[in-house]
């Protein structure tokens, strides 16, 4: 959980500074820091769902991937 929280903190910080540097507005930077990671979270959920279906259709791929990861 600690790793997830630190990654989320980095994501929010990067989104804020990119928005602020590009626009010069801390308000827009703050809005981007909230909206962009939230959108990415939703998109990531569906991305994972699609990849689970793809992997389920290809027997042997997830097993070989698990072997590489360990």
Query: For 7-36, how does the pLDDT look when each residue is reduced to its tens digit (9 = 90+)?
Result: 888 888 999 999 999 999 999 999 999 998
How many other CB atoms are there within 10 angstroms of residue 15's CB atom?
20
How many other CB atoms are there within 10 angstroms of residue 19's CB atom?
21
Which phi-psi region, left, alpha or beta, contains residue 46 (left: φ > 0; alpha: ψ -120 to 50)? alpha
Q: Which residues contact 59 (CB under 8 A, 6 or more apart)?
A: none
- The C-alpha atoms of residue 16 and residue 6 are separated, in whole angstroms, by 15
pTM above 0.85, yes or no: no
């Amino acid at each position: 959980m600690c790793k997830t929280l630190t990654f989320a903190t980095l994501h929010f910080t990067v989104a804020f500074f990119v928005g602020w540097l590009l626009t010069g507005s801390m308000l827009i930077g703050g809005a981007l820091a909230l909206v962009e990671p939230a959108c990415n979270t939703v998109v990531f959920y569906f991305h994972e769902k699609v990849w689970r279906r793809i992997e389920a259709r290809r027997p042997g791929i997830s097993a070989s991937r698990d072997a590489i990861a360990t």
